[in-house]
């Protein structure tokens, strides 16, 4: 693993000075609390002897006030500095994470479910925040205090200091180790359960209409609640163990107080320690043990941190795969005359089933190619390769000789994609179209809307281009949403356009009108039209029929219709829809 790929050490090294300051401030806070209790115990004991003059206890009075103020100030500065550095580290982590995700977003879509990505973005980064605040800082501070405490006791009695070192090691080392071993499995189960809940929730949200229309919404709710109940049961078991562990730690703390009391009392009885120091030595135990208590929870959370780091590291392989190809830019391709070439491309997914087998075709600038084929034939894989999100197992996918994978960071300047269900954001029509080119002027947006025959409709709305499309574009029909997305693509200015079955779900009349508008608006651009039936195929310059991972048929519509019997049969299967179109007039 390269150092720059780690999620902990680079940030620790970069902020080492501030981290050391936070740890020292944490130690100073607990030391101030211990000193406060020590001087308070001495002051109470000394005052109980009724000294003849208040000046005899003036120094401990001042010390109590000093340590009390110092504890509050150091605690405040420690929290302020600690949270500052953590927010700084998290900010750098989030920027790095998003920069890692953005260029490989398409590739991640095939490797991670939406719920998993939501867990990484919302959960894992927050876990790393807790790692510093609840584990690293308290752990180092506690070890520092443990050492100081034993050395300080050693100045009075090294044998007793050794005994306390062994006893306190139960707090500092043994209990956290046991907590780590016991809670490791439970924390991993909790993390996995939370990821499953994320996946179920995102699946339910995305498919809410299907659940409602099928009348099975109660099934989804029951299944989600059952999954949530299992997760809560694991959480209850973990909390039950934590309660018993904390009770045991409190008992250990009481034992440490008794040991200190017995030692201080015995030493005082032998004349080796003034009796006014007995309460001081006993009270100093309380703030020290409070510093040791969080170590068990901190150790128990380590598996969750490890799981978060492991999930975030899983983002790297796709990036590493892209790094094997030298990155190129759109300028290297040239945007005026772009030729898309598939050269003997083969590809298989992890299952081993071949999706593409030696696929070869060329789309020159200005050509309109219709790519047909049944479901599962490999059309979506071809689209993903054009987007640079997948590398072929064999062969090349290239624009003007430059591989698509090498252009992944700049692919949006070369390829525009109109999907089956383009997403419209809950903002104005103007902003939705301008998404294709954030620098575009209002006039350029109006031009794009005119090209897709949407300008007059928009102008007729009460707020014109400032009309909100509402959530997911619900204000408009399917055909109108596609036209807005097409205007967005025109504004993008990419020379190669992929139409990924953009008319699915539309009625024949709307489909015909939309296809006519698309081909008119995209005149002069390279168009690869992915479709599953032959309605409107005569508008394409060439037709490619993909089946079983191979190009089974290729040629002009009229030539195939006259010479290829299989194409004739396929054309006849679409005959009802085609005859309906013929009654309304020819397609072009």
Write the pLDDT tens digit of every residue in 413-465.
Answer: 888 888 888 888 888 889 889 988 888 898 999 999 999 988 888 888 888 88
Please calculate the CA angle 289-290-291 and round it to the nearest 5 degrees: 85
Question: 121 CB contacts (<8 Å, ≥6 apart)?
Answer: 97
- CA pseudo-torsion sign 297, 303, 307, 310: positive
Please calculate the CA angle 202-204-207 and round it to the nearest 5 degrees: 105
Q: Checking DSSP bridges between strand 526-531 and strand 542-547, what pairing results, if any?
A: unpaired
| Helix, coil or strand: residue 347 | strand
- Asked whether the predicted pLDDT for residue 397 surpasses 70, the reply is yes
Burial class of residue 494 in the structure, from the number of CB atoms within 10 Å of its CB (0-12 exposed, 13-18 middle, 19+ buried): buried
d(CA 359, CA 367): 19
- The answer to whether residues 574 and 537 touch, using CB atoms and an 8 Å cutoff, is no
Please calculate the CA angle 107-359-113 and round it to the nearest 5 degrees: 20
Per residue in 204-248, pLDDT tens? 666 666 666 666 677 777 777 888 888 888 888 888 888 888 899
- Asked whether the predicted pLDDT for residue 326 surpasses 60, the reply is no
Domains delineated in the chain: 3-322 (1.20.1560.10), 421-493 (3.40.50.300)
- The answer to whether residues 368 and 520 touch, using CB atoms and an 8 Å cutoff, is no
- Asked whether the predicted pLDDT for residue 487 surpasses 50, the reply is yes
- The answer to whether residues 138 and 295 touch, using CB atoms and an 8 Å cutoff, is yes
pLDDT of res. 210? 64
- Asked whether the predicted pLDDT for residue 105 surpasses 80, the reply is no
Backbone φ and ψ for 424, nearest 5 degrees, come out as -110, 135
pLDDT of res. 111? 54
Question: 488 CB contacts (<8 Å, ≥6 apart)?
Answer: 422, 432, 433, 434, 435, 436, 448
For residue 314, the surrounding DSSP H or E stretch is none
Q: Which residue has the tokens 């010390």?
A: 63
| Helix, coil or strand: residue 422 | coil
d(CA 57, CA 119): 59
pLDDT of res. 74? 92
pLDDT of res. 131? 81
Q: Give the model's confidence band at 112: pLDDT under 50 very low, under 70 low, under 90 confident, else very high.
A: low
- The answer to whether residues 452 and 490 touch, using CB atoms and an 8 Å cutoff, is yes
Question: 442 CB contacts (<8 Å, ≥6 apart)?
Answer: 430, 465
Residue with the larger pLDDT of the pair 311 and 138: 138
Per residue in 348-394, pLDDT tens? 876 667 889 999 999 998 899 999 888 878 888 898 888 887 888 89
pLDDT of res. 391? 83
Tokens coding 237: 């078991």
Contacts of 125-130 with CB under 8 Å at 24 or more apart are 125/90, 125/93, 125/94, 125/97, 125/308, 127/304, 127/305, 127/308, 128/7, 128/8, 128/89, 128/90, 128/93, 128/305, 128/308, 128/309, 129/86, 129/90, 130/301, 130/305
- The answer to whether residues 497 and 414 touch, using CB atoms and an 8 Å cutoff, is no
Tell me the average pLDDT of the chain. 81
Tokens coding 453: 């025959």
């Amino acid at each position: 693993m390269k150092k720059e790929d780690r999620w902990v050490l680079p940030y620790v090294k970069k902020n080492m000075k501030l981290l050391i300051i936070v740890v020292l401030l944490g130690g100073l806070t607990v030391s101030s609390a211990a000193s406060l209790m020590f001087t308070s115990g001495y002051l109470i004991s000394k005052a109980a002897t009724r000294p003849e003059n208040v000046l005899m206890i003036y120094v401990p009075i001042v010390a109590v006030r000093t340590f009390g103020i110092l504890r509050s100030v150091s605690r405040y500065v420690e929290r302020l500095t600690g949270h500052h550095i953590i927010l700084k580290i998290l900010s750098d982590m989030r920027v790095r994470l998003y920069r890692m995700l953005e260029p490989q977003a398409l590739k991640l879509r095939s490797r991670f479910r939406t719920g998993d990505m939501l867990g990484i973005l919302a959960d894992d980064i927050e876990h790393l925040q807790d790692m510093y605040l609840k584990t690293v800082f308290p752990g180092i501070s506690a070890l520092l205090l443990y050492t100081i405490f034993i050395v300080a006791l050693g100045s009075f009695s090294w044998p007793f200091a050794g005994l306390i070192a062994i006893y306190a090691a139960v707090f500092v080392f043994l209990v956290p180790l046991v907590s780590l071993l016991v809670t490791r499995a439970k924390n991993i189960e909790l993390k996995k359960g939370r990821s499953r809940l994320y996946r179920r929730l995102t699946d339910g949200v995305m498919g809410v209409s299907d659940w409602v229309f099928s009348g099975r919404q109660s099934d989804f709710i029951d299944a989600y609640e059952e999954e949530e109940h299992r997760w809560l049961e694991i959480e209850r078991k973990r909390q039950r163990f934590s309660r018993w562990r904390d009770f045991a730690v409190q008992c250990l703390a009481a034992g440490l107080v008794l040991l200190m009391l017995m030692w201080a009392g015995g030493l005082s009885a032998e004349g080796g320690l003034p009796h006014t120091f007995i309460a001081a030595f006993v009270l100093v135990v309380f703030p020290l043990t409070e510093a040791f208590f969080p170590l068990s929870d901190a150790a128990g959370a380590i598996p969750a941190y490890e799981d978060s780091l492991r999930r975030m590291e899983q983002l790297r392989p796709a990036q590493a795969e892209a790094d094997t190809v030298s990155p190129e830019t759109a300028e290297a391709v040239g945007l005026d005359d772009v030729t898309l070439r598939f050269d003997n491309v083969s590809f298989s997914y992890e299952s081993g089933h071949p999706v593409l087998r030696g696929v070869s075709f060329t789309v020159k600038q200005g050509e309109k190619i219709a790519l047909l084929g049944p479901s599962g034939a490999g059309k979506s894989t071809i689209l993903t390769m054009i987007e640079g999100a997948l590398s072929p197992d064999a062969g090349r996918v290239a624009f003007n000789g430059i591989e698509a994978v090498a252009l992944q960071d700049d692919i949006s300047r070369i390829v525009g994609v109109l999907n089956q269900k383009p997403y419209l954001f809950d903002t104005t029509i103007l902003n939705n179209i301008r998404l294709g080119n954030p620098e575009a002027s209002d006039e350029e947006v109006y031009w794009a809307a005119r090209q897709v025959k949407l300008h007059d409709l928009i102008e007729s709305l009460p707020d014109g281009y400032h009309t909100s499309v509402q959530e997911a574009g619900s204000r408009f029909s399917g055909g109108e949403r596609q036209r807005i997305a097409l205007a967005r693509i025109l504004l993008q200015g990419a020379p190669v356009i992929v139409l990924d079955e953009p008319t699915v779900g539309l009625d024949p009349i709307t489909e015909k009108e939309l296809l006519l508008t698309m081909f008119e608006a995209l005149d002069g651009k390279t168009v690869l039209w992915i479709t599953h039936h032959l309605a409107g195929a005569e508008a394409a310059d060439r037709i490619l029929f993909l089946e079983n991972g191979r190009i089974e048929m290729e040629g002009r519509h009229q030539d195939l219709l006259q010479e290829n019997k299989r194409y004739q049969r396929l054309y006849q299967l679409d005959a009802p829809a085609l005859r309906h179109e013929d009654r309304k007039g020819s397609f072009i």
